[in-house]
Chain A
Amino acid sequence: MQKQELIEKNPIRHLKGESDAKESSRMGLVMARAGMGKTALLVQIAMDSLLNDKQVVHVSVGQSLDKTKLWYDDLFQDISKACKLEKAGEIHEAIKRNRMIITFNESSFSRAKLEERLHDLVQQHVITPSCMVVDGFDFAKTDRSVLEEMRELATKMNLQIWFSAVCSEGIDNQHTNEVPAPCNGVGDLFNTVVLLQSVAKSECLDLKILKGSAAVSKCGKLLKLDPQTFMIREDCK
């Protein structure tokens, strides 16, 4: 398989933001119950930029550097094995070069600090990201104003930002398209909100689009993902 095919099967390609916000500075949110694979999906989103030779900053709150690195290595390995990717070694090197992981422990994370780090990175010519994924951000303890500031940051730096959030058990039975807690109060700040769900007796994971829409209309508001590679699966009913 070629690199191009990988890019086309990336779920982020199939997600369009609501309203006419620029793709390059949108804010996205991935929600799921604990253990569904939020981090993996964020990594897959980051992969999209990485495979397009764009640079990515991965912010991880509460997880160690080594662990975060492993997410990428494992997912890449799964993908390259599942898709029999050509020139995997070369692509992996390029990914490494374009990726930068910043980890914080819970107590030392703040928006101001993150912004300072980002400016450092750009100033020192280490990396100029076009995408940032934030994993482990605690929505329950965050004020709306912090997210508003993040939005400003996204616009200012021309950066798309994706967050992950844990929602409580029992969410799978919800049929409305409302953004569930703890993000119900800030849903309007995001251009795209998706919910990752597992469906009984199905080989695929469901990616329900709560906000924004799918690029290809036939999919409706639901995308099917491969649980191992987190790429779009078309064969799954």
Chain B
Amino acid sequence: MRDITKVRNIGISAHIDSGKTTLTERILFYTQRIHAIHEVRGKDGVGAKMDSMELERERGITICSAATYCDWQDHAINIIDTPGHVDFTIEVERALRVLDGAVLILCSVGGVQSQSITVNRQMTRYRVPRVAFINKCDRTGANPDRVIKQLRDKLGLNAVPIQIPMGLEVDMQGLIDLVRMKAIYFDGENGDKIREEEIPAQYQEECDLKREEMLDAVSMFSDELMEAVLEGTPTEEMIMAAIRKGTLALELTPVMMGTAYKNKGVQLLLDAVISYLPCPTDVDNFALDLDHDEAEVKVSNISSDPLLALAFKLEDGRYGQLTYVRTYQGTLKKGDSIVNVRTGKKAKVGRLVRMHSDDMEEIDEAGSGDIVALFGIDCASGDTFTSGTDYNFSMTSMHVPAPVISLSITPVDNKAQDNMSKALNRFTKEDPTFKTFVDPETMETIISGMGELHLDVYVERMKREYKAEVTVGAPQVAYRETITQRAEFNYTHKKQTGGSGQFGRVAGYIEPIEEGEYEFVDKIVGGSVPREYIPSCDKGFQKCLDKGALIGAHVTGVRCAINDGASHAVDSSDIAFQLAAMGGFKEAYAKAKPMIMEPIMKVAAEGPSEFQGSIMGSLNQRRGIIIGTNEEDAYTVIEAEVPLSEMFGYSTDLRSLTQGKAEFTMEFATYRQVPKSVAEELIAKAQKNKK
């Protein structure tokens, strides 16, 4: 078994076009996973994005695969793909669960961009230690100092450079390592020959100054180092230990620089990943105890303990479903049986493989903290596996937010029809917030999810990955209905003319509840409704919840209670009491002051300060409540709560309003009552549709 302290599970996160693909490519090259460097950027320097996709396609899944494994200096590094879209909270959460540390790539020209801000916020929330790499130092206008300042101001990180560049833009020759005080050059065609020299005289002064600054910041984390600095004898080991300590505590972010494209600095970054980022035992991971209301339990990280593993990504391979799992404690062995906590089903570990960039290696077991792939296990992503049923822990929360928006999709031809169902089957397994069903009235396939963009991406993926062309209907917001006061009912269902009769009477009340969707209370005394028909009443009520009387939306937050009724010796039946309950519900519903609720999104729009007024105006027009603004230098973030129904097409509006300089993210916040005027409109529309 491998030494767990020599494993690094890291993610690489970057704003679009700051060089993530190139850097990953270089890492794989230097770790000898691939044997030639292919350029992302074509000779003319345009169409970089297209190239990268071609490249990925040519190589199969290597660069964008869920987890790529490589070796560097006797350590195993698993590079995990971090999703680019932060809107999909569940996906992000899952990826961040699996990472122990991350490399934040920034463009030396572009600096900290909005995407970096959002990703950084998520990482802070999940306590992911990170190192920063300022890429593209060869570009015209490169300014690492400015980027470091932004890291401090915009991201609030305690960014401390541990390198300085020798020259910038086209003159970039190499880097100076401030820990070891050496100048480092990258020779050879592919920069793979590292040459260490003394620091050139013209940089000496700057180096001394920067090193002092670095030591000041770093010695905060080690008393030993602090003393040594005062005595003037800090050693490399001491400094590195202190940097590591600060990084793991999330109180320090070491900053490195270089240019992946020109093959400079990548090896040093790999060194830093090993020296400063945590191994699986350095981080505390928590499981949720399902027997105790999802209380957090710290996982042990010990390979001999019972197994706890998380399936975080599924992939369709040549040999069926490939499931990427990370073990948190215990050992995953070939031939063992494991239990899926969500479904309770047992499965046997068949093939166990470690993913390399272009092939896979069969292994017999994987210890705690490792990332491996399983073949032939049927599960959804986010599922937790344990070794036995006595252990009811889950790595991810079982609470999945209900979808807030839906679309109808229609395949263009028969072939697309087949592909579409394949794709939908896969997507629902991958993403618990993505749901699909067939509307029984219109016979259309409906997909629903957490936002417009969320669904857009899946429609696009259907086209690209499954060749399923579909036409998309207008998005529909998932409204809900609820009641605001208690109301009584007493309803008799009677049909006793001809044939076998039906009879059932139920009385009771409905009332709003704060939490939960539906409750059924049986307060019948003396058997006025026979026992066997009480579940029928429950069923009848539940049928009513699907379509509320106002606009046909789902009804939530209702407690239905029955306290009286009557039956007939011959004519009472299951269906009679169901119908009676439905009648009773309808009767009471109208009296219980029902209202319509709509999903409210938390929107964060960010852009240059001069557009602040107009952005706020645009959110205000959309019935948004503006919570506040945050102004940093020339940049402003505006936070607001806006109804989802008003957010359609906002990205286009925002762009035209701000010359394309602002962007926004949104996530589901809550359900809230719709204003009267809007409610009336909705009701009128629903009635028109009925006719």
| A-to-B contact residues, CB < 8 Å | 58, 64-65, 68-69, 93, 96-97, 100-105, 107-109, 113, 117, 120-121, 123-127
Contact = CB atoms under 8 A, between A and B. Distances in A.
15 contacts: A65-B628, A65-B630, A97-B625, A100-B627, A100-B629, A101-B628, A104-B630, A105-B631, A109-B631, A117-B612, A117-B631, A124-B616, A124-B617, A126-B626, A127-B626
Contacts of B617: 124-126
Interface string B611-637: 011101100100001111111111001
B614 A101 contact: no
Contacts of A105: 153, 631-633
Interface string B670-691: 0010000000000000000000
Contacts of A121: 613, 616
Contacts of A93: 672
Q: Sorted from nearest, which 6 A-B pairs have the closest CB atoms?
A: A101-B628, A120-B613, A124-B617, A103-B630, A65-B630, A65-B628
B452 interface: no
Contact of A125 (B620, B631, B632, B637): B620
Contact of B631 (A68, A97, A108): A108
B613 A103 contact: no
A69 B631 contact: no
A113 B631 contact: yes
A108 B632 contact: yes
A186 B614 CA distance: 36
A155 to B, nearest CB: 23
B639 A65 contact: yes
Contacts of B625: 96-97
Contacts of A68: 628
A69 B612 contact: no
A123 to B, nearest CB: 7
Interface of B: 153, 612-614, 616-617, 620, 625-634, 637, 639, 641, 672
A65 B637 contact: yes
Contacts of B633: 105, 107-108
Contacts of B153: 105, 107
Contacts of B616: 120-121, 124, 126
Contacts of B627: 65, 69, 96, 100-101
B597 to A, nearest CB: 13
A101 B631 contact: no
Given A96-B625, A100-B626, A124 B631 contact: no
A109 B672 CA distance: 35
Contacts of B614: 124
A140 to B, nearest CB: 22
Contact of A103 (B626, B629, B672): B629
B620 A102 contact: no
Specify which of B612, B631, B639, B672 lies most central, judged by the most chain A CB atoms within 10 Å of its CB.
B631
A64 B616 CA distance: 18
B631 A102 contact: yes
Given A124-B617, A125-B620, A126-B620, A100 B612 contact: no
Nearest to A123: B613
Contacts of B634: 108
B628 A103 contact: yes
A1 to B, nearest CB: 20
A97 B613 CA distance: 18
Nearest to B620: A126
Given A102-B628, A113-B631, 4 more contacts: A100-B626, A102-B629, A104-B632, A126-B616
Nearest to B629: A102
B288 to A, nearest CB: 25
Residue with the highest number of chain A CB atoms closer than 10 Å, among B626, B627, B630, B634: B630
Given A65-B639, A124-B613, A126-B620, A101 B629 contact: yes
A93 B620 CA distance: 16
Contact of B628 (A100, A108, A123, A124): A100
A127 B620 CA distance: 10
Contacts of B613: 120-121, 123-124
A102 B638 CA distance: 9
B643 to A, nearest CB: 13
Contacts of A126: 616-617, 620, 626
Given A96-B625, A125-B617, A126-B620, A120 B631 contact: no
Nearest to A104: B631
Contacts of A64: 630
A68 B627 CA distance: 10
Contacts of B672: 93
Nearest to B632: A105
Contacts of A117: 612, 629, 631
Nearest to A122: B613
A93 B626 CA distance: 12
A64 B153 CA distance: 12
A120 B613 CA distance: 5
A96 B627 CA distance: 7
A117 B629 CA distance: 10
A195 B634 CA distance: 36
Contacts of A113: 631
Contacts of B631: 102-105, 108-109, 113, 117
A136 to B, nearest CB: 13
A105 B628 CA distance: 14
B632 A124 contact: no
A107 B631 CA distance: 10
A114 to B, nearest CB: 10
Contacts of A104: 630-632
Contacts of B630: 64-65, 102-104
B548 to A, nearest CB: 21
Contacts of A123: 613
B516 to A, nearest CB: 17
Contacts of A120: 612-613, 616
A203 B568 CA distance: 68
Nearest to A64: B630
B620 A124 contact: yes
A127 B616 CA distance: 10
Contacts of A124: 613-614, 616-617, 620
A108 B633 CA distance: 5
Nearest to B153: A105
B381 to A, nearest CB: 30
Contacts of A102: 628-631
Nearest to B641: A96
A195 to B, nearest CB: 29
Contacts of A69: 627-628
Contacts of B639: 65
Contacts of A127: 626
Contacts of B612: 117, 120
Nearest to B619: A126
B607 to A, nearest CB: 14
